[in-house]
A and B are shown apart, each in its own frame.
Chain A
Amino acid sequence: MSPDILTGEHFINGNTASAEGAIAVGCRFFAGYPITPSTEVAERMSRRLPQLGGTFIQMEDELASMSAILGASWGGAKSMTATSGPGYSLMMENIGLGIMTETPTVVVNVMRGGPSTGLPTLVAQADVMQARWGSHGAYEVIALAPASPQEMFDMTVRAFNLSEQFRLPVSVLSDEVVGHMTEKVVIPTQDKVPIYARRKPKEPPSDSYRPYQADADGVPPMANAGSGYHMHVTGLTHDERGYPVITAAAQKKLIQRLCDKIRKNRDKIIQYTEVDTEKADVIVVSYGISARTSWKAIRTCQKHGMKVGQLKLDTIWPFPEERIRELAGMVRGFVVPELNMGQIVYEVERCAAGKCKTVLVPHPGGEIHDPLDIYKAIKEVAK
């Protein structure tokens, strides 16, 4: 029988590392549907969870997978699914339900080329805006972007903690290359894994219980089903009791809080990594596998005497607007390589607000960037 946490050094791929991160942070429910290039996450979970007293279930589709992990979360489990583009599209419906009902859960999206069936086995980063806006309605989300198997482990752990802290489905936006890349992954001892415990209601069950009465940070504590609170949970616009109220006033109150609980806690959520940005003329803003491809170009430029830095987005959503605004006043321009035809570049451009150049290095997917293309863009901006 395997231990809960595989403390030690491993040589594993990103998808496996993600599954182990989930197990390390206490995930004991996985529902999924096989889809390339994410399937290794489900396969790992199907081996590990039955050994650990957890539940693995292969659902009939991704609609069902997403619904099941929401239900499991209300049943008291830390729950997760893993998918790729076409499955992520199907999950959008119930990601919306998760946002509306404030259900903590984690969705790993190992991005591949699209639209539609696209490139099942080949890389892309084209679901970034879908992660932000893919479900209908007005809301805020949290999405993390790992760039290595180690980050697949670490960010899956963090995704669970953020989902519990802010009560929403959190996306881990990986990609085919990071998911299938095999590298050293260090799994710490259990006591070194940060765990955010679900906030329980402070008062015992009573008629005056309000399941959606938020704490000071905008997030309500959460009662699990079967704990006597007899709460109502609905995807309809609702009041603090959880009861449907179909009015503009109720909508304003609820949606404002759902947005504010992310917006006002941005500092606790947003993480990025800066390298050599202090005196840079050009900063490459990148995430996931493109952050690693950028390194070759950045180092080459630095060897040629150019002042180039990198802002690597560890969280993509919420977007680090403030930092981009600050940097925009200090540099000639931003270069944004991404494996799509332009998504995050528009966010960068919006925050730069004309203070500096913003140049996209697009790529429709199927392979990673040629670092030479990023190098040329940096040179162009540095002129």
Chain B
Amino acid sequence: MSDRCAKDEHPDDASTVHRDTSGVGGVHDHDHRKEEHTHPMDFLLRPGRIPHIWCTGCGLGVVLTAFLNGVKKANIPYDDVSVVSGIGCTGRIAGYIQLDSFHTTHGRALPFATGLKLANPKLKVSVISGDGDLFAIGGNHLIHAARRNIDMLVLCVNNFNYGMTGGQAAPTTPVSAKTQTSPYGCWEHPFNLPYVAAASGAVYVARWTVLHAKRLVESIAEALNHRGLSFIEVISQCPTNYDRSNKGGEALDLMHFFENKTVVRNGIDPKDADIGLYTPITCGKFVDIQKETYDCGYDRMCTLAKGGKK
């Protein structure tokens, strides 16, 4: 394995995980593809980019596969798909996808995607980024993209901490959860992401865990074909950082946790879907409504600007 499996090398000290600077060169020195393991979705992955940089046991591989399957299922021409990411572990997803992909600055995936989409409305734009990227540094952009109802999919992977920098507290870290910057337990109230997205104006809001791979694929496909801003939260384990700090166990233990402790409640008010420290997780499709999208409203305004009737 590569040198970024800090968990194996530094089992007692999560703060020594510095994957952000470790790069990718070393990984590609040994090319797993030579073993001729193929995957039916390989044609949507960039040649030579796998193995990815994520830790053993991370849920991001599931999210990547689910997204690609979702795009396929949604039956969208691949040339029309653009993927935009911010910074962080999830932010690296864009770099593996063999479609137009943009790895932007921390928190700014949404406004970048907004410009991309509005400049070429034929594009099917998806933003894939983490909870810190979309709700802390990029929180303002999230609520405004949802308010405007820009026609795009926002796929937010929530692992309850900043993984890329070694496991610090995030706006999603549950009260009393330990991280590298909340060593005595987190004392801040976390965001309930679907609640924020719905309150801000998102027209499609769902939450799944990485265990719900099939429902996630269906949800992604459905959201991609839903006009307006769709928001899907995907809960992922982070066994290297968050779950280790909180004695949540290995990846398999966490998958069992998702298996045993998630409740699917479609259609509930997302305000009732708070998440605590290893408390049961409410999943499901919470919002599925129709509302005028930004581009439809803009076109209507342009008709007025050109002297036409409402």
Seen from chain A, the residues whose Cβ lies within 8 Å of a Cβ on chain B are 1, 29, 31, 47, 50-51, 53, 55, 57, 59-61, 63-65, 67-77, 79, 93-94, 96-97, 207, 224-236, 243-247
Contacts and interface: CB of A to CB of B under 8 A. Distances in A.
B6 to A, nearest CB: 16
B24 A75 contact: no
Interface string B113-124: 111111110110
Given A59-B111, A94-B108, A243-B46, A232 B298 contact: no
B116 A245 contact: no
Contacts of B307: 1
A204 to B, nearest CB: 12
Contacts of A234: 94-95, 102-103
A243 B141 CA distance: 27
A226 B110 CA distance: 18
B100 A229 contact: yes
A53 B121 CA distance: 12
B114 A68 contact: yes
A67 B111 CA distance: 6
B108 A93 contact: yes
Interface stretch (B76-84, B189-197, B201-209): B76-84
Given A63-B111, A226-B80, A29 B119 contact: yes
Contacts of A235: 103-105
B79 A228 contact: yes
26 contacts: A1-B306, A1-B307, A31-B115, A50-B306, A55-B119, A57-B118, A59-B114, A63-B111, A64-B114, A64-B140, A65-B111, A67-B115, A70-B112, A70-B115, A71-B112, A72-B116, A73-B115, A74-B102, A74-B119, A75-B116, A97-B104, A227-B79, A233-B103, A234-B103, A235-B103, A245-B24
Interface in B86-137: 94-95, 98-105, 107-108, 110-120, 122-123
A382 B55 CA distance: 69
Given A71-B113, A231-B101, 13 more contacts: A29-B119, A67-B105, A67-B108, A67-B115, A68-B115, A70-B104, A72-B118, A75-B115, A75-B116, A93-B105, A94-B108, A233-B101, A247-B23
B123 A244 contact: no
Contacts of B79: 226-228, 230
A51 B305 CA distance: 5
B124 to A, nearest CB: 9
A257 to B, nearest CB: 19
A244 B95 contact: yes
A61 to B, nearest CB: 7
B72 interface: no
Given A51-B306, A64-B111, A246-B25, A97 B116 contact: no
Contacts of B49: 243
Nearest to A245: B25
Contact of A232 (B25, B101, B116): B101
B302 interface: yes
Interface in B194-244: none
B101 A79 contact: no
A61 B110 CA distance: 13
A52 to B, nearest CB: 9
Contacts of B94: 232, 234
A235 B24 CA distance: 15
A69 B82 CA distance: 16
Contacts of B102: 71, 74, 225, 232-234
A4 B155 CA distance: 39
Contacts of B266: none
Contact of B115 (A71, A233, A236): A71
B115 A63 contact: no
Contact of A67 (B112, B120, B298): B112
Which of A57, A73, A77, A229 has most chain B Cβ within 10 Å? A57
Contacts of A29: 115, 118-119
Contacts of A94: 104-105, 108
A53 B299 CA distance: 9
Contacts of A53: 302
A365 B308 CA distance: 46
A230 B111 contact: no
Which of A68, A96, A97 has most chain B Cβ within 10 Å? A68
The 4 closest A-B pairs by CB, nearest first: A246-B23, A75-B119, A71-B115, A68-B115
A236 B94 CA distance: 12
B95 A75 contact: no
Contacts of A72: 115-116, 118-119
B47 interface: yes
Nearest to A50: B305
A36 B307 CA distance: 30
A207 B104 CA distance: 23
A207 B22 CA distance: 27
A71 B123 contact: no
B103 A225 contact: no
B260 to A, nearest CB: 38
Contact of B22 (A31, A231, A246): A246
Which of B24, B110, B114, B298 has most chain A Cβ within 10 Å? B114
Contact of B25 (A230, A231, A247): A247
Contacts of B141: 60, 63-64, 67
A236 B103 contact: yes
B120 A75 contact: yes
B144 interface: yes
B263 to A, nearest CB: 35
B252 interface: no
A63 B108 contact: yes
B301 interface: yes
A244 B108 contact: no
